[in-house]
């Protein structure tokens, strides 16, 4: 066998292995692990909404938040301006969670129309904003001085 034939055979084998691996990935249950991002309108109009784990994104409707700290339950409504979905989440919300902000919740739509979430994520800007300079320096110095006097 010549070197040219050996190189050609190696190339064909490499292509067959790569094609087999690609076919296995395409035929496996990779699609079952995908999480789709939907708005409340898309969630409520989708035919397969109750079967899918999705990320629901929208704004927290002011006046709808109910947080039971004893049981670590959180209920609120999310809207995209057209459709509103009630959300129930177990666990405490992130520190920055409040009404009127953007939020993404991951979970499933239950049969009663309530979105059951196991993960709440707050949308926020990643840009740092410096204080506006209205710090009362005299009050801060007094506070620092009081702290020194207590030591």
Contact yes or no for 110/81 (Cβ under 8 A): no
Whether 108 and 62 share a structural domain: yes
CATH number of the domain within which 93 lies: 2.40.50.140
Whether 52 and 110 share a structural domain: yes
| Amino acid 69: pLDDT | 80
| Amino acid 113: pLDDT | 87
Task: Report the pLDDT averaged over residues 41-50.
Answer: 85
141: in domain: no
Whether 50 and 101 share a structural domain: yes
Whether 97 and 81 share a structural domain: yes
Q: Is pLDDT of 34 > 90?
A: no
Question: How confident is the prediction for the chain on average, in pLDDT?
Answer: 80
| Structural domain span for residue 67 | 35-122
Q: Is pLDDT of 65 > 70?
A: yes
What's the CA gap between 85 and 77, in Å, rounded? Answer: 6
Whether 47 and 110 share a structural domain: yes
Q: Is pLDDT of 148 > 60?
A: no
Least confident of 40-49, 114-123, 135-144: 135-144
What is the band of 150 on the pLDDT scale with cuts at 50, 70, 90?
Answer: very low
What is the band of 149 on the pLDDT scale with cuts at 50, 70, 90?
Answer: very low
Pseudo-torsion of CA 103, 105, 109, 110, nearest 10°?
-110
- Count helices and strands (H / E) in the chain: 3, 7
Whether 77 and 56 share a structural domain: yes
Whether 68 and 87 share a structural domain: yes
113-144: b or e for each residue (b if 16 or more CB lie within 10 Å)? eebebeebbeeeeeeeeeeeeeeeeeeeeeee
134: in domain: no
With helix as H, strand as E and coil as C, how does 58-73 read? EEECCCCCEEECCCCE
Whether 57 and 73 share a structural domain: yes
pTM of the model: 0.62
């Amino acid at each position: 066998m010549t070197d040219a034939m050996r190189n050609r055979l190696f190339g064909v084998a490499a292509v067959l292995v790569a094609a087999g691996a690609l076919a296995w990935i395409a035929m496996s249950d990779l699609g079952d692990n995908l999480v789709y991002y939907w708005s409340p309108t898309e969630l409520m109009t989708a035919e397969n909404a109750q079967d899918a784990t999705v990320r629901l994104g929208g704004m927290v409707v002011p006046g709808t938040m109910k947080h039971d700290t004893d049981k670590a339950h959180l209920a609120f409504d999310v809207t995209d301006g057209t459709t509103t979905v009630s959300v129930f989440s177990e666990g405490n919300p992130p520190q920055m969670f409040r009404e009127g902000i953007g939020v993404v919740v991951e979970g499933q739509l239950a049969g009663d129309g309530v979105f059951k979430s196991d993960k709440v994520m707050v949308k926020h800007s990643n840009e740092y904003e410096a204080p506006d300079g209205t710090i009362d320096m005299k009050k801060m110095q007094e506070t620092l001085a009081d702290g020194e006097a207590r030591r």
